[in-house]
Amino acid sequence: MKLNQILSIVNQVEKAKFISTLDRLCSDAAKNNNKLAQTIDNIDGQIKNASGSEITQLFSTVKEFFKTSIKEQILMGSAQLNLLLNILSRDGNGVARIVWIESLYAREWEDIEGLSKELKEAIQLGSKEVSFNRNHTLKIYHSCMKEAYFNDQKNNRDAKITDDERSILNVLANELNLTTDECAAIEHLVDPIPKSEVLDALNSLRDMGILFISKKRQEVFIPDEIVAVLNEIQGKDLADKYVLRILRTLTDAELSNVLKAHGRKIRGVSRADKIQTIIHSGLGAEKLLFEDMHSIDDALNQKKERLKQLIQDLEIEVEKLGATLDERISLILQSLAGATEKEFDSLSASGFKQLLNTLEKHFPDIQNLLKSSFELETNEVIDTEKLRALSITPHDILYLLSNDEVKEVRDNMGLPKRGNTRFVILESFANATEKLIENYDVLARRDVNKLKEVGADVSESDIGVKFEEVTKAIFETLELNVDEDLRKDLNTAKDKADIVVSLGDNDIIIGEAKTCKNGDFAKYSTTSRQVKAYVTRAENQGKRVAQVLIIAPSFSDDFIESAEMDTEVNISLLEAHGLKLIFDAYKSKRNPSFAPKLLTKGGLLKAELIAKNI
């Protein structure tokens, strides 16, 4: 979840530690940054009074200062903090209940404890061996870890590993081909990690400004922006979900090469277990691509050709392929690291929801697969809103399925067998949404027969929901911020707004999408009661409703007059064919620009004039 979204959820007390951290960093940075100093002056020098968007902008400006600050604090902290940060920064754990974080911590602790005992035996064997083998390698790293940790006691200081010592240990681990989980387990032998007191550790991380804790929800929030900083500190060049994509494209022999490079077992190990072992080991993607996946006797040109094929398999669009191995690796890493926003944009909210529903139909175990892969609570129902909050894209979901499983889904859907299987599936949902947008006015008028004629098969009972979803898809194309998290937060079992558009700060537009089978939409009294309830609830939560926007196929004269005369709430009306006209005008422009204020004029909006102003 983005920082701006989290700031809109937590209260002033719950964001106080983060604001204090940001305030201190801004004060230091502003001394040498005139632009930042001016930004702080614009909010009267009081960051605690800044809006969510202003705070997000300030954080972006001082991100490097923040990174340096928390890196120092983490190094001075305990091994427990490092274990907890490793859990919180993993895919799917950015928003979680405290009790669930505690259960994940207990599971992780048991894994490290078990691996530590296994490595301890290997280290003891290494002490008796002269040859340079895996056991001897583990012994060397263990000896260096002990020296780095305990050498402070010689000078009557507390035992700890300094920044310089950590850097040297990281280089040593890399040269010895040790994995992240092995390093953590060996450190656990030297500096045992506490098994409990997780809440105290979470509070320590909150005090550093790393995360937010909501007492009301009993939830922990760690923003995507801070997760990215933590990944940099931990030396992660790619999130696990992107490493998984790479592994899915590798052959069984290449997966075995990776495991052999780190002394792991390969005989009798299934493909799925190989992938799981590599993911859990925390291997760096760069080293995996440069060395581990290749056979020992592969020539440089063979490696370059293999990466060229990998780029094609991952459907990475490139202007220039790159001449060297390093350039091709960099291209893969950069493309995947910045893929999230692009992947969400490639499929509308409606298309995403359809994809998940279809996968649940053709692959009934998808919910359990999502929960196990992204460490989500077992009793939680996973929907697309939750997935968006966790930055889990449609592409991420399809890459959870094995190559054989995703082919089975494709075949069950009756899709073509040519091309990348996952992208064929994604394209089918993108096309389905485009077809409904193309026939948006027909959908608004609930013309089932006409929809069937154009190949958009929608049941009568689903039309209302589809119209709402397609309206959101159009708004997203117009680059409006359709805020599903805020809508979910504002809605109750009784009052459920269709659409919430965030305009920045605390300003929002509340949208209602109404279908009508025969004639004009004329139910003003019912509709006005609905929207006024939504407005009241939003204002009670500190939001300012700039406008209520009602979209329908057409409106009766009485409806239009009543909306214009209503003094309690500002209402704009937009006909479905008018919104489609605006959409078409936006898509036809090379550099389109659509201002949300065009929807806040009140009364029946003139779509033709709005389209001309794009």
Compute the chain's Rg from CA coordinates.
27
DSSP secondary structure of 387-398:
HHHTT--HHHHH
* pLDDT at residue 200, as a whole number: 92
Q: Which has more confidence, 37 or 147?
A: 147
* Residue-wise pLDDT tens digits, 306-324: 999 999 888 888 888 888 9
* Residue-wise pLDDT tens digits, 56-73: 888 888 888 899 999 888
User: Average of pLDDT values for 184-188?
Assistant: 91
Q: Shortest CA distance to 573 belongs to which of 545, 535, 541, 607? A: 607
* pLDDT at residue 128, as a whole number: 64
* pLDDT at residue 186, as a whole number: 93
> What is the longest distance spanned by two Cα atoms in the chain?
93
Structural domains of the chain sorted by starting position, each given as residue range(s) with its CATH number in brackets: 1-234 (no CATH), 240-338 (no CATH), 478-614 (3.40.1350)
Average model confidence (pLDDT) for the chain? 88
Distance, in Å, from the CA atom of 480 to the CA atom of 594, rounded to the nearest integer, reads 8
pLDDT higher than 70, residue 297: yes
User: Average of pLDDT values for 98-126?
Assistant: 91
User: Average of pLDDT values for 90-113?
Assistant: 92
Q: Is the pTM of this model over 0.75?
A: no
Contact 592, 614 (CB under 8 A): yes
* Residue-wise pLDDT tens digits, 195-217: 988 999 999 999 999 999 999 88
* pLDDT at residue 129, as a whole number: 58
User: Average of pLDDT values for 343-347?
Assistant: 82
* pLDDT at residue 130, as a whole number: 54
Backbone angles phi, psi at 126, to 5 degrees: -60, -30
* Residue-wise pLDDT tens digits, 363-375: 999 999 999 889 8
For residue 164, CA distances in Å to 171, 229, 231, 277 come to 11, 20, 19, 30
User: Average of pLDDT values for 344-362?
Assistant: 85
pLDDT higher than 80, residue 586: yes
pLDDT higher than 80, residue 48: no
pLDDT higher than 70, residue 127: no
Q: How many residues does the chain have?
A: 614
pLDDT higher than 80, residue 174: yes
User: Average of pLDDT values for 570-576?
Assistant: 96
Distance, in Å, from the CA atom of 387 to the CA atom of 406, rounded to the nearest integer, reads 20
User: Average of pLDDT values for 162-182?
Assistant: 86
pLDDT higher than 90, residue 181: no
pLDDT higher than 90, residue 526: yes
* pLDDT at residue 455, as a whole number: 79
* Residue-wise pLDDT tens digits, 450-506: 998 887 878 888 899 899 989 998 998 898 988 887 888 788 878 889 999 998 778
Percentage of the chain exceeding pLDDT 70: 97
Distance, in Å, from the CA atom of 428 to the CA atom of 431, rounded to the nearest integer, reads 5
* pLDDT at residue 46, as a whole number: 66
User: Average of pLDDT values for 368-385?
Assistant: 89
Contact 604, 578 (CB under 8 A): no
In sequence order, what are the beta bridge partners of 214? 219
Tokens standing for residue 24 = 């201190």
* pLDDT at residue 131, as a whole number: 60
pLDDT higher than 60, residue 45: no
The one-letter amino acid at 505 = D
Indicate the pLDDT class of residue 248, thresholds 50, 70 and 90. Answer: confident
